[in-house]
Amino acid sequence: MGFSLLDYAIVGAYLLSAIAVGAIISGKQRTSRDYFLGGKEMAWWSVGFSIVASETSTLTFISIPGLAYKTDMHFLQVAIGYFIGRLLVSVIFIPAYYAGNLETAYDFLGKRFGMSLRKFTSSVFLVTRVLASGVRLFATAIPVHIITGLDYPTSILLIGSFTLLYTFLGGLKAVVAMDVVQMFIYLTGAGVSMALILNHLPGGWSDVVRFATLGGQNKFEIFNPEWGTSIPAFFASPYTLAGGLLGGTFLTMASHGTDQLLVQRLLGCRSRWDSQRALMLDAGLIVLQFAFFLLLGLCLYAFYQGVPFSSLGLSSSDEIFPKFIKENLPTGLAGLVIAGVLASAMGTLSSSISSLASSSYLDLFSTRKAGPGDPRKELFWSKLFTLAWGVLLIGGAMLFTDTKNPVVELGLKIASFTYGGLLGTFFLGLLFPKTRQIDAYAGFVAGLLAMTYILEFTKIDFTWHTLAGCAVTIAVGNLSRLVRITMIR
């Protein structure tokens, strides 16, 4: 049906409203604490919705339906692991963070092991976040490219520029405020799409069931208890029951317990209890949301009558939902859904920019030793770091414009490379009181080296990466402690 002037107007109005929110909030900032932590006075429910929007991105909006179209519902095992991981973060990490009155996730490591480790882990986070966020920004360009005809670099520049502007102006408060709005926009857009598909199918939901079970297959299958034909084959399968649950649990403990992207929001709540409530709201919503987007993929499968995506002229399963939007949504609704695509991406991108800026400024740049510095200089440098990282992220997204793999898996693989080492290092600080900075360094570096080996020389899939890196980090850190104690004696 094409993209009409009304659709463009809807998208344009959404983009301009985001900038307006940033401009309104910008006048209420006085210090870097206001800019990066919202003055530690944000409502728990808004933080909870914000976390959902931040971690959703276009990876979920287009890639999860595409994954279900291509395979089945096995990814939901990972989402259940996400729920378990959030419970553990709420019990283990959040109390430690609020006991230390921290500004960033890596502030904990600085207080526990020393400033050197804080700067090192923050630097690793910065590199990984730029790459992972570049994948997410590219993912947003896929539907924009398909529907509007703009090339990938232009699409990336358009999305990135508007996101950077409202993040630069409003800081974390603007990011959270827009996240709440964006979550409802993209869910509404996806919900409208599903309703239209079901209305189009002659048998409605019964047609979805029929195609999902056609030829003896069962695309509704959630749990995959298979162990594989061998141990290597087991670890090479990302969506087994063990791999999904353990992988999702450890990946979430790393992302929500050690990644500044999400920890920044949890530290912006008024109290520990508010932070825990925000995280548990997120935990419940995220499982429901993944289930919804997987079911949307099965609806698309029925709509296209089970035809493989390659037979539809598509190069990736990620393009199936954008194809439906472009060809089947009526005027006005197409604009709403594309606004939803942009909303899901801008929520994550703005969070990435803000977390990169806060970590680089507070962990690496700021030299305050006691008491606050000049508030105006703090705010100036905070905004300058935000601007610099935003420009770098837009450039980084250009690196992924020729990928043919599902972007949700590519993004998780990049994040998993360092997540295991970071999570293991935090566990060394939280659970092993006799470890010292040298032990944490040894463990963290060993975890990174182990992940390098796993990625280069094995077929172990991404759901196992965080667990493997974490286990190596804890083992080597404690081995270093034992060697150190033995040498002293």
pLDDT at 476 over 50: yes
As a whole number of angstroms, the distance between CA 203 and CA 86 comes to 39
The number of C-alpha atoms within 13 Å of 131 and in the hemisphere containing its C-beta is 14
One-letter amino acid of 120? F
What is the helix (H) or strand (E) element at residue 70, kind and residue range? helix 64-70
Of 123, 80, 121, residue with least CA distance to 463 = 80
Q: Would the pLDDT of 156 be above 50? A: yes
pLDDT digits (tens, 9 = 90+) for 130-151: 777 777 777 777 777 776 777 8
Place of tokens 């553990």: 88
Burial 359-394 (b: 16+ CB within 10 A, else e): bbbbbbeeeeeeeeeeeeebbebbbebbbebbebbb
Identify the pLDDT of residue 370. Answer: 44
- Mean pLDDT for the chain overall: 85
Domain 5-404, what fold?
Answer: Sodium/glucose cotransporter (1.20.1730)
> 431 CB contacts (<8 Å, ≥6 apart)?
none
215 secondary structure, DSSP code: G
Look at 70 and 1; give whichever has higher pLDDT. Answer: 70
The pLDDT score that the predictor gives to residue 418 is: 84
Tell me 254's DSSP state. H
Which of 351, 240, 287, 328 lies closest to 76, judged by CA?
A: 287
3-state secondary structure 174-204: HHHHHHHHHHHHHHHHHHHHHHHHHHHCCCC
Higher per-residue confidence, 473 vs 269:
473
- Contact between 169 and 25 (Cβ < 8 Å): yes
Query: Which has the higher per-residue pLDDT, 423 or 25?
Result: 423
> Which pLDDT score, from 0 to 100, does residue 369 have?
47
* Highest mean pLDDT out of 31-45, 64-78, 409-423: 64-78
Q: Which long-range contacts (CB under 8 A, 24 or more apart) does 177-181 make?
A: 177/21, 177/25, 177/46, 178/18, 178/21, 178/22, 178/346, 178/347, 178/350, 179/49, 179/50, 179/52, 179/53, 179/54, 179/347, 179/350, 179/351, 180/46, 180/49, 180/50, 180/53, 181/21, 181/343
- Tokens of residue 25, six digits: 């909030």
C-alpha span between 264 and 102 (Å, rounded): 10
| Predicted confidence (pLDDT) at residue 401 exceeds the cutoff of 80 | no
Residue pLDDT, tens place only, 175-228? 888 888 878 888 888 898 999 999 999 999 999 999 999 988 999 999 988 766
Flag whether pLDDT at 405 surpasses 60. Answer: no
If we measure between CA atoms, which residue out of 410, 345, 350 comes closest to residue 140? 345
pLDDT at position 276 is: 95
Task: Report, as an integer, the average pLDDT of 307-318.
Answer: 88
* Structural tokens at position 351: 């969070």
In angstroms, the CA 168 to CA 178 distance is 13
Share of the chain above pLDDT 70, in %: 91
Q: Which residue has the higher pLDDT, 76 or 368?
A: 76
CA distance 183 to 180: 5
Q: What is the pLDDT of residue 402?
A: 56
| Model confidence band, residue 482 (pLDDT cutoffs 50, 70, 90) | very high
Asked whether residue 434 carries a pLDDT value surpassing 60, the answer given is yes
pTM: 0.84
Closest residue by Cα to residue 171 from 340, 42, 12: 42
Cβ atoms of 266 and 42 within 8 Å: the answer is no
Tell me the pLDDT tens digit for each residue of 65-82. 999 999 999 999 999 999
- Residue 140 tokens read as 């947003």
Mean pLDDT (whole number) for 250-267? 88
The burial of 209, by beta-carbon neighbours within 10 Å (0-12 exposed, 13-18 middle, 19 or more buried), is given as middle
Name the most confidently modeled range: 48-62, 251-265, 430-444. Answer: 430-444
